[in-house]
């Protein structure tokens, strides 16, 4: 699954490039060409031209609301000050205590908050 | 034996910590916040009354003015009775428990008592609070099933929010008392 260029990916890329150009030119024709000209060509079943302006506006307002929504979701997911999630979690509760070996680096583990506090705030005499 | 020291809260307001030692195993720590300032009270009142006068000038309805007076009075009473906390105190009695008291500006006091059997430890924790990371003191309650686990966290000094230097003083005082219960044999 490497991101290296492959012949198939080049073909997909070119097809997408052509498709997006085609879609853009179609959108411009639909938005700008008067309805009578399109009717005279026999193409009558188009959406209302109102949507040529409405859809981009909807999209931009959604992007703007998305910023505020993301900020709000972050604030809601933050644990309140009285929850135990600020101190521990499922992984820390289930961790196994490895035996202490001489002259070896101690295994990585979650240190309980009481121990951390004692080390930081109580001066060792 | 009482001593009082000045500190700053997390937002910069001046607070005072008062420590009293009642006996070898009983300590009282009280954090006193700033009193309601006359200038902020007058600023809020003037703002509300100016807005009401502007509405009155627009609508020519004199009820707006009396409504503004009512709102100011009732808002002030609600603020003093339910919101403005003058002093938060912590009374640690070695063999008995911990009592947390909040005194409001109107004189109301709200008290919580936690017995020592439920208290696992008193620690300084840091957490995210409203786009800031603050240090706060909290009581860890013991989980009855799991001796290593914490069932609940009770944050202390929530309205005065002292900074780390004040919290370290309170933490050291509490730990001196909590250590005694490990060395003293448990009778119950």
pLDDT of residue B186: 54
pLDDT band at A110 (very low <50, low <70, confident <90, very high): confident
Average pLDDT, chain A: 88
Residue of A nearest to B141 (CA): A84
Distance from CA of B50 to the nearest CA of A (A): 33
Asked whether residue A47 carries a pLDDT value surpassing 70, the answer given is: yes
Choose among A79, A83, A117: nearest Cβ to B123.
A117
Q: Which of B28-42, B121-135, B170-184 has the lowest mean pLDDT?
A: B170-184
- Tell me if A113 and B128 make a contact (CB, 8 A cut-off): no
pLDDT of residue B184: 66
Which residues does A91 contact at the CB level (< 8 Å), separation at least 6?
A110
- Tell me if B124 and A84 make a contact (CB, 8 A cut-off): no
Average pLDDT, chain B: 91
User: Percent helix, strand and coil across chain A, each rounded to 5?
Assistant: 60, 0, 40
How much is the ipTM here?
Answer: 0.78
CATH architecture of B2-34+85-183: Roll (2.30)
Q: Where are the domains of chain B?
A: 2-34+85-183, 38-82
Residue of A nearest to B134 (CA): A81
pLDDT band at B173 (very low <50, low <70, confident <90, very high): very high
Q: B155 to chain A: which residues are within 8 Å by CB?
A: 81-82
Q: Which residues of B1-39 are buried (b: 16+ CB within 10 A; e: fewer)?
A: eeeeeebebbeeeebbbebeeeeebebbbbbbbeeeeee
Whether B158 has its CB under 8 Å from any CB of chain A: the answer is yes
B138: exposed, middle or buried (Cβ count in 10 Å: 0-12, 13-18, 19+): buried
Which residues does B43 contact at the CB level (< 8 Å), separation at least 6?
none
Q: A91 to chain B: which residues are within 8 Å by CB?
A: none
Centroid of chain to Cα B144: 28
- Tens-digit pLDDT profile for residues B72-107: 999 999 999 999 999 999 999 988 999 999 999 999
pLDDT band at B53 (very low <50, low <70, confident <90, very high): very high
- Tell me if B153 and A93 make a contact (CB, 8 A cut-off): no
Residue of B nearest to A123 (CA): B172
């Amino acid at each position: 699954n490497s991101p290296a260029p492959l012949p198939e990916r080049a073909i997909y890329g070119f097809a997408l490039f052509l498709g997006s150009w085609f879609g853009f030119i179609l959108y411009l024709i639909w938005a700008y060409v008067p309805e009578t000209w399109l009717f005279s060509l026999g193409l009558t079943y188009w959406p209302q031209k109102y949507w040529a302006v409405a859809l981009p506006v909807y999209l931009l307002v959604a992007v703007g609301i998305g910023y505020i929504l993301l900020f709000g979701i972050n604030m809601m997911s933050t644990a309140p000050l009285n929850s135990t999630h600020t101190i521990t979690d499922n992984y820390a509760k289930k961790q196994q205590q490895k035996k202490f070996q001489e002259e070896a680096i101690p295994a990585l583990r979650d240190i309980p908050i009481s121990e951390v506090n004692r080390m930081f705030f109580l001066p060792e005499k | 034996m009482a001593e009082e020291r000045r500190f700053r809260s997390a937002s910069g307001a001046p607070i005072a910590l008062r420590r009293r030692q009642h006996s070898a195993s009983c300590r009282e720590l009280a954090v006193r916040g700033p009193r309601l300032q006359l200038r902020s009270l007058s600023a809020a009142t003037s703002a509300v009354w100016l807005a009401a006068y502007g509405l009155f000038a627009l609508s020519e309805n004199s009820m707006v003015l009396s409504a503004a007076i009512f709102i100011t009075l009732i808002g002030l009473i609600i603020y003093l009775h339910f919101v403005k906390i003058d002093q938060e105190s912590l009374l640690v009695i070695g063999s008995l428990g911990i009592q947390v008291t909040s005194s409001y500006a109107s004189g109301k006091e709200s008290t919580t008592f936690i017995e020592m059997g439920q208290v696992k430890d008193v620690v300084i924790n840091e957490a995210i609070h409203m786009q800031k990371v603050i240090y706060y003191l909290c009581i860890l309650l013991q989980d009855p099933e799991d001796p290593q686990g914490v069932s609940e966290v009770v944050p202390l000094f929530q309205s005065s929010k002292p900074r780390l230097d004040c919290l370290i003083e309170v933490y050291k005082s509490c730990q001196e008392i909590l250590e005694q219960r490990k060395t003293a044999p448990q009778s119950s």
